[in-house]
């Protein structure tokens, strides 16, 4: 089967949707399928051979954060050419109503089209205001997937219809066997995410550091992800700043190496999470997790059985739970053991079979994906094939 995957968010930036598309592509290829991914990128020279450059992304406020997307006439031409040349059996778009390549792909294609919903947002003014526009894309879909119950509820409440629930996957083997990053002292914790996005919660971790340093004078806090480091350091005391190590944007391999090297992974997110794939990645690496008690995180960690939970946004509680984990090797070992069992439910070796079953269900008649040559509305402009 030849599958076209569309990721609306920048391929260069870390994120759950981008990781999902990346790992799904590899899992499909491992199962003998041909895959082409379309995604925006700041630096096309770094793209693997199976990813097509979808143009330079721009920052757009979306779903409570700032997403890096590409949209417009040039992007539409890129999408149409990719569909025309792809000759896909199935087109699989992710976050289909995000204002980017996925929405354009829905408008620009016809045939077997599957969409996956990732985000959770109980009140989305963008989706509510753009209901009519969203419906022009939704009517093209042959199959719908949601990665979590929260994402499914977002779909039902804002767009209508329903979806099959297939969780995010993780390629467990590379995380379980990766080499630890050298040069990281102990005790150490890792934050992974865009450092200038408030809902990722880095500020909560920074606020917790004085209490943690008082207990662990040699604590090392590793921060990995894009963003302005100077802004993060501004206003921090020299004592706190001295315990921070910024890695900047990291590759997938370095993410694995960092997770393998630290004593605990800290997920201080403050909201807007429908699943928590990074928690699964940390558990797959054998690393103890300390996470805010968001509903999505609580479900992934089975109400605290597979990792420590703290009150969302509460720096003091974050410090207490992290100190408990760092001070007791037995606690870390117990969380790691429970996590290694939990991640088996999300191993792409198994999850991909459910995705392929959806593909099979929408391509029964042998119809292929083709360019939709009917006029389509993009903003206020009509683009014709």
Separation CA 76–CA 257 (nearest Å): 38
- How would residue 131 be classed by pLDDT, with cut points 50, 70 and 90? low
Asked if the model's pLDDT at residue 384 lies above 50, the reply is: no
- H helix or E strand, kind and range, residue 357: helix 348-362
Separation CA 362–CA 262 (nearest Å): 44
- For the four alpha carbons of 221, 227, 232 and 238, in that order, the dihedral sign comes to positive
Separation CA 10–CA 57 (nearest Å): 6
Residue with tokens 């040699």: 218
| Range ranked top by mean pLDDT from 59-73, 164-178, 209-223 | 209-223
Q: Please report the pLDDT score of residue 379 as a whole number.
A: 43
Tell how far CA 6 is from the center of its chain. Answer: 14
DSSP state at residue 221: E
Helical pair 16-30 and 348-362, crossing angle rounded to 10 deg: 80
Q: Which of 267, 327, 355 has the alpha carbon at shortest distance from 33?
A: 355
Phi and psi of 53, rounded to 5°? -65, 120
Q: Please report the pLDDT score of residue 71 as a whole number.
A: 81
Asked if the model's pLDDT at residue 133 lies above 70, the reply is: no
Q: Please report the pLDDT score of residue 382 as a whole number.
A: 44
Q: Which of 238, 166, 204 has the alpha carbon at shortest distance from 314?
A: 204
Q: Please report the pLDDT score of residue 228 as a whole number.
A: 86
User: Residues 73-82: pLDDT tens digits?
Assistant: 899 999 999 9
Which is more confidently placed, 330 or 118? 330
Separation CA 280–CA 145 (nearest Å): 19
User: Residues 32-50: pLDDT tens digits?
Assistant: 999 999 999 999 999 999 9
Alpha-carbon distance values, 278 to 1, 62, 210 (Å): 29, 20, 25
Q: Classify domain 2-169+347-383 at the CATH class level.
A: alpha beta
Q: Average of pLDDT values for 97-115?
A: 92
- How would residue 62 be classed by pLDDT, with cut points 50, 70 and 90? low
Q: Please report the pLDDT score of residue 121 as a whole number.
A: 64
The DSSP string of 132-178 is HHHHHHHTT-SEEEESSHHHHHHHHHHT-S--EE----B-HHHHHHP
Q: Which residues contact 334 (CB under 8 A, 6 or more apart)?
A: none
> Could you tell me where in the chain the CATH 3.40.50.2000 domains are found?
2-169+347-383, 172-345
Q: Which fold has domain 172-345?
A: Rossmann fold (3.40.50)
Q: Which of 180, 182, 203 has the alpha carbon at shortest distance from 193?
A: 203
Query: Quick one: what percent of the chain has pLDDT higher than 70?
Result: 91
Torsion of CA 298, 304, 306, 312, to 10 degrees: 50
Separation CA 123–CA 136 (nearest Å): 21
User: Residues 249-301: pLDDT tens digits?
Assistant: 898 899 999 999 999 999 999 987 878 889 999 999 999 999 999 999 999 99
Phi and psi of 192, rounded to 5°? -130, 120
Q: How many angstroms separate the first and last alpha carbons of the chain? A: 26
Helices (H), ranges, 61-100 = 73-86
Phi and psi of 18, rounded to 5°? -60, -45
Residue with tokens 């260069």: 12
* Contact indicator for 104, 71 with CB cutoff of 8 Å: yes
């Amino acid at each position: 089967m030849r599958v076209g995957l569309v990721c609306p968010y920048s391929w260069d930036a870390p994120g759950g949707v981008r990781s999902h598309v990346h790992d799904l592509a590899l899992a499909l290829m491992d199962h003998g399928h041909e895959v082409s991914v379309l995604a925006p990128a700041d630096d096309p020279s770094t793209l693997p051979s199976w990813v097509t450059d979808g143009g330079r992304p721009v920052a757009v406020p979306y779903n409570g954060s700032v997403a890096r997307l590409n949209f417009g006439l040039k992007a539409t031409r890129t999408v149409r050419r990719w569909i025309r040349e792809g000759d896909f059996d199935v087109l699989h778009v992710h976050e289909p109503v995000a204002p980017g390549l996925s929405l354009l792909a829905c408008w620009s294609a016809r045939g077997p089209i599957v969409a996956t919903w990732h985000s959770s947002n109980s009140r989305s003014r963008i989706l509510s205001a753009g209901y009519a526009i969203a419906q022009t894309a939704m009517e093209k879909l042959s199959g719908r997937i949601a990665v979590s119950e929260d994402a499914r509820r977002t779909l039902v409440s804002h767009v209508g219809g329903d979806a099959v629930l297939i969780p995010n996957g993780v390629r467990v083997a590379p995380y379980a066997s990766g080499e630890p990053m050298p040069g990281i002292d102990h005790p150490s914790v890792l934050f992974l995410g865009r450092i200038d996005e408030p809902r990722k919660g880095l500020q909560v971790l920074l606020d917790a550091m004085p209490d943690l340093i008082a207990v662990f004078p040699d604590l090392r806090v590793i921060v990995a992800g894009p963003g302005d480091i100077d802004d993060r350091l501004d206003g921090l005391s020299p004592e706190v700043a001295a315990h921070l190590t910024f890695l900047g944007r990291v590759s997938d391999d370095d993410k694995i190496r960092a997770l393998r090297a630290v004593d605990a992974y800290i997920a201080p997110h403050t909201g807007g999470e429908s699943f928590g794939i990074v928690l699964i990645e940390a558990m797959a690496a054998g690393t103890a997790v300390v996470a805010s008690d968001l509903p999505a995180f609580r479900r992934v960690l089975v109400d605290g059985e597979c990792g420590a939970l703290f009150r969302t946004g509460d720096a003091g509680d974050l410090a207490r739970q992290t100190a408990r984990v760092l001070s007791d090797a037995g606690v870390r070992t117990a969380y790691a053991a429970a996590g290694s069992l939990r991640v088996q439910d999300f191993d792409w070796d198994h999850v991909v079979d459910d995705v392929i079953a959806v593909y099979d269900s929408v391509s029964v008649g042998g119809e292929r994906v083709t360019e939709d040559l009917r006029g389509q509305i993009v903003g206020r402009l009509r683009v014709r094939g």
